[in-house]
Amino acid sequence: AQSVTQPDIHITVSEGASLELRCNYSYGATPYLFWYVQSPGQGLQLLLKYFSGDTLVQGIKGFEAEFKRSQSSFNLRKPSVHWSDAAEYFCAVGYSGTYKYIFGTGTRLKVLA
Amino acid sequence: NAGVTQTPKFQVLKTGQSMTLQCAQDMNHNSMYWYRQDPGMGLRLIYYSASEGTTDKGEVPNGYNVSRLNKREFSLRLESAAPSQTSVYFCASSEAGGQGAPDTQYFGPGTRLTVL
Please answer yes or no on whether B100 and A106 come within 8 Å at the CB atom: no
CB A45 within 8 A of CB A63: no
Q: Is B14 left (phi over 0), alpha (psi -120 to 50) or beta?
A: beta
CB A8 within 8 A of CB A23: no
Examine the pLDDT at B100 and tell me if it is beyond 80: no
- Alpha-carbon separation of residue A113 from A86, A109, B104 (angstroms): 11, 13, 32
Q: A57 — phi, psi (to 5°)?
A: -115, 145
Instruction: Please provide the average confidence, as pLDDT, over all residues in chain B.
Output: 93
Examine the pLDDT at B97 and tell me if it is beyond 80: no
Please answer yes or no on whether B107 and A45 come within 8 Å at the CB atom: yes
- The pLDDT assigned to B16 comes to 97
Please answer yes or no on whether A98 and B100 come within 8 Å at the CB atom: yes
On chain B, the residues whose CB falls within 8 A of the CB of A43 are 4, 90, 92, 107-110
Report residues of chain A scoring pLDDT below 50: none
Q: How many CB pairs under 8 A join A and B?
A: 62
DSSP notation for A3-52: -EE---SEEEEETTS-EEE--EE---SPPEEEEEEE-TTS-EEEEEEE-S
Name the residue among B45, B40, B20 with its Cα closest to residue A9.
Answer: B40
- The pLDDT assigned to B105 comes to 94
Please answer yes or no on whether B48 and A43 come within 8 Å at the CB atom: no
Q: CA-CA distance, B49 to B28, in Å (whole number)?
A: 14
- The pLDDT assigned to A28 comes to 66
Q: CA-CA distance, A2 to A13, in Å (whole number)?
A: 31
B105 vs chain A: nearest CA distance in angstroms? 8
B90 touches chain A (CB under 8 A): yes
Residue-wise pLDDT for A72-92, tens only, equals 999 999 999 999 999 999 999
Give the residue from chain A lying closest to B30, CA to CA. A99
Residue-wise pLDDT for B39-95, tens only, equals 888 999 999 998 888 999 999 999 999 999 999 999 999 999 999 999 999 999 998
- The pLDDT assigned to A15 comes to 97
CA dihedral sign, ordered A53, A107, B97, B105: negative
- The pLDDT assigned to B95 comes to 86
B50 touches chain A (CB under 8 A): yes
